[in-house]
Amino acid sequence: MKYIRNFCIIAHIDHGKSTLADRLLEFTKTIGERDMQAQFLDDMDLERERGITIKSHAIQMNYTYKGETYTLNLIDTPGHVDFSYEVSRSIAACEGALLLVDAAQGTEAQTISNLYLAMNNNLVIIPVLNKIDLPGAMPEEVKDEMVDLIGCEREDIIPASGKEGIGIEAILNAIVERVPPPVGDPDGELQALIFDSQFNSYRGIEVIFRVKNGRIRKGDKVKFMATGKEYFADEIGTLKLSQVPKEVIECGDVGYLISGIKVAKEVKVGDTITRFAAPAAAPIQGFEEVKPMVFAGIYPVDTSEYEELREAMEKLQLNDASLVWEPETSAALGFGFRCGFLGMLHMEIVQERLEREFDMTVITTVPSVRFEVITTRGETLQVSAPAEMPDPSSIDWIEEPFIKAQIITKAEYVGAIIGLCMDKRSLFKNQVYLTSDRVELQFEMPLAEVVFDFFDKLKTISRGYASLDYEFLGNRESTMVKLDIMLNGEGVDALSAIVHRDKAYEWGKKLCEKLRELLPRQQFEIAIQAAIGQKIIARETVKALRKDVLAKCYGGDISRKRKLLEKQKKGKKRMRQVGNVEIPQEAFMAVLKIS
Ligand code: GTP
């Protein structure tokens, strides 16, 4: 244990975590240059494109310092608020953290929230000032911020550049010198913390864990304490460039376990592995069931692809334990699925993976949070789709989830951001100047408002200089109503939304306007109406097409005609016919685009 160091890297998105991790792996010869892909740790295509490390992985390096060889386990952490529980478990598996701050950007919301997590877990923080090669770097200012934030000495901060390979050796030395070795009882009962799992189509689920006490041997019968499931440790080992099977993983170390587990759901991040024959008295603290926060319907564009979509969802769930779904029927869209996601990014990722990996074209309906509806008969209903909302006459009151939001921005945007948040039904809680120019704002706000396009608006009004992080506070009473949309007199359930009563009229009006823009003109007129209960509150009309689109091409250039048809075909890709009206995907999201 004396020669083990477990650490993670805390950084805001794009502050250079993956690039720096690559350098550490290169320097310690864990990977040769030839193995080097652009970014080794992000091994899903999607992750690479988005530049976000979505799932945490771990990798082991050996590093020789003053004649001794150390085992360094780098535990990767996802950088987005949707995955904050995974971050918290990764942090719980470490003794130290590199705090990476972009020398041109300074600290951001994610840096700070993850730093607090690390500090609460008593991790040793090694401050690294990254990207010092950038012409726009402000090393002195950002160092001031870091000193204020962590309470470290200026000299503790290591200047670095992942891109230019500056400071890499200093960082490795600091990990050995400053991060304490793990503590634990090697001869005690086995307690291993599961902080990640990954899916391998040949070998099933690979469980990634950190041994806190005892040791785990190949062939051991083990038990996962939260799920109560028992397995045999068919294969265990350490994670290097590839997996290295081992006979035993010792106390303090990080490893993987393969046991023929087929379904991701059986493996819960935060669970404790113990030995069946001599179980630990208690699990490691901090386990939580992750709960989906955002819900939406997913429907095949082509109704005949329902079964295919079900198969795709099942496969997706094999390696994404946080995705939940159940069948749902919509009067307008037919058979589909109501899905629960950790947040908006998670939702986008699922949709993209369905399209890329499974070649499905799907329609996603307006996302919603989960409301609690207390009926006049005293029942509590969980409502996460407008269609599930009971008749207003039977509702006593409604509660909606609230979050504590933390926004970091430049001083000049504070006014605009407070305005935006107030408009989003937020309570302003606090304002702290981190430096003379950087401000941290705190609000309590309804999660539903974050779902409705908050993030894009925040980025726009702050010209990109605002970062957001949040945590769940609890449910609070709110007066919500269901806003129904009708096309040519027929209710289209998939277009309804649950909105706050004070905003319902304005929203109804704007939603109708937006739909008028988004619905393509057809051979006949389309009346769009918004209603609350029986009452129509807004109306718009999409005029009928005057001419056949092709009419003007007859006798004309054939290539032009083909182009026009191609264009129409493309536009049709994500459309659903509801009654006799064609509705494009954008229309189902119209409510998110209301300003
Ligand atoms: P996420 O995975 O999205 O959290 O991003 P990350 O923090 O892993 O950042 P990543 O390593 O992907 O780098 C983000 C961008 O910054 C990329 O375009 C890198 O090329 C660039 N970058 C990373 N390190 C440096 C550096 O030291 N100097 C400069 N100039 N650019 C860097």
How far from the centroid of its chain's Cα atoms is residue 417's Cα? 23
475 CB-near residues (< 8 Å, 6+ apart): 372, 399, 400, 401, 402
Please state, in angstroms and rounded to a whole number, the distance separating the CA atoms of residues 280 and 431: 45
| Interacting residues of 494 by C-beta distance below 8 A, sequence separation 6+ | 297, 299, 330, 332, 333, 363, 365, 366, 578, 588
547 pLDDT above the threshold of 70 = no
- Ligand 1 site, residue 13, Cβ cutoff 6 A: yes
Residue 380 belongs to some domain of the structure = yes
Angle of helix 306-319 relative to helix 344-358, nearest 10 degrees?
120
- 289 inside domain: no
Q: Which of the residue ranges 197-201, 354-358, 377-381, 424-428 would you say has the lowest mean pLDDT?
A: 197-201
- Tell me if 281 is assigned to some domain: no
**Annotated binding residue 122:** no
Could you say which of 365, 390, 411 is where a domain stops? 365
Give yes or no: residues 465 and 491 share one domain.
no
- Give whole-number Cα distances, 167 to 20, 106, 139, 173, in Å: 10, 18, 14, 10
CA 197 to ligand 1 center in whole angstroms = 25
Report whether 144 belongs to an annotated binding site.
no
In the chain, the amino acid numbered 300 is P
- Judge if 329 and 404 occupy the same domain: no
Average confidence (pLDDT) over 222-248: 93
pLDDT band at 199 (very low <50, low <70, confident <90, very high): confident
Radius of gyration of the chain (CA): 27
Q: Is residue 249 part of a domain?
A: yes
Tokens at residue 254, please? 């990080």
- CATH number for the domain spanning 359: value is 3.30.70.870
Position 532 pLDDT exceeds 60: yes
Q: Do 474 and 507 fall into the same domain?
A: no
In a domain, 349, yes or no: yes
Q: Are residues 29 and 115 in the same domain?
A: yes
Residue 534, burial from CB neighbour count under 10 angstroms (0-12, 13-18, 19+): exposed
CB-ligand 1 contact for 16 (6 Å cutoff): yes
- Measured in Å, residue 174 CA sits from the centre of ligand 1 at 21
What pLDDT score was predicted for residue 572? 43
Whether residue 22 contacts residue 28, with contact meaning beta carbons closer than 8 Å, is answered with no
CA distance 508 to 497: 10
Last residue of a domain, which of 313, 343, 365? 365
pLDDT grade for 165, boundaries at 50, 70 and 90: very high
**In-domain check, residue 287:** no
Average pLDDT on 268-284 reads: 94
| Residue 253, amino acid | D
CB-based contact 75:195 (threshold 8 Å): yes
Residue span of the structural domain in which 545 resides: 482-593
Q: Which of 8, 9, 12, 18 to mutate to test the pocket of ligand 1 (most atoms within 8 A of CB)?
A: 18
Task: Please name the amino acid found at residue 464.
Answer: G
Residue 151 and residue 16 share a domain: yes
472 CA distance to ligand 1 middle (Å): 29
Question: What average pLDDT does this structure show over 508-517?
Answer: 90
Quick: pLDDT tens for 342-367.
Answer: 888 888 889 888 988 888 888 888 88
CA distance 483 to 504: 7
Q: Provide, rounded to the nearest whole percent, the portion of the chain with pLDDT above 70.
A: 90
In the prediction, which pLDDT does 120 show? 84
Mean pLDDT of 459-479: 87
Is 51 touching ligand 1 by the criterion CB < 6 Å?
yes
Domain CATH code at residue 459? 3.30.70.240
Mean pLDDT in residue range 502-511: 89
- Domain end, chosen from 335, 365, 395, is at 365
pLDDT at 13: 79
- Does 578 or 308 have the greater pLDDT score? 308
Q: For 464-489, what is the mean pLDDT? A: 89
- Overall domain count for the chain: 5
98-152: pLDDT as tens digits: 999 999 988 887 777 788 889 888 999 999 999 999 999 999 999 998 998 888 9
CATH number of the domain encompassing residue 255: 2.40.30.10
Q: Which atom of ligand 1 is nearest to the CA of 160?
A: 27
Tell me the residue type at 470. Y
Q: Is the Cβ atom of 130 under 6 angstroms away from ligand 1? A: yes
Q: Which of 9, 10, 12, 14 to mutate to test the pocket of ligand 1 (most atoms within 8 A of CB)?
A: 14
The mean pLDDT of 498-512, rounded to a whole number, is 90
Question: Are 21 and 152 part of one and the same domain?
Answer: yes
| Confidence (pLDDT) at 396 | 95
Per DSSP bridges, beta strands 272-275 and 191-200 are antiparallel
What is the percent of the chain where pLDDT is above 90? Answer: 51
Q: Are residues 470 and 456 in the same domain?
A: yes
Element (H, E) at 173: helix 168-178
Per-residue model confidence (pLDDT) at position 55: 42
pLDDT value at residue 270 = 92
Tokens 């869209």 belong to residue? 333
pLDDT, position 52: 40
Arithmetic mean of pLDDT, 171-175:
98
Please check whether residues 249 and 304 belong to one and the same domain. Answer: no
Model pLDDT, residue 193 = 96
Average pLDDT over the chain reads: 87
424 alpha carbon – ligand 1 mean position (Å): 33
Cα–Cα nearest to 104, from 24, 163, 179: 163
Ranking 465-479, 486-500, 541-555 by mean pLDDT, the lowest is 541-555
Residue 153, helix vs strand vs coil = coil
Whether residue 36 is found in the same domain as residue 62: yes
Q: Are residues 354 and 298 in the same domain?
A: yes
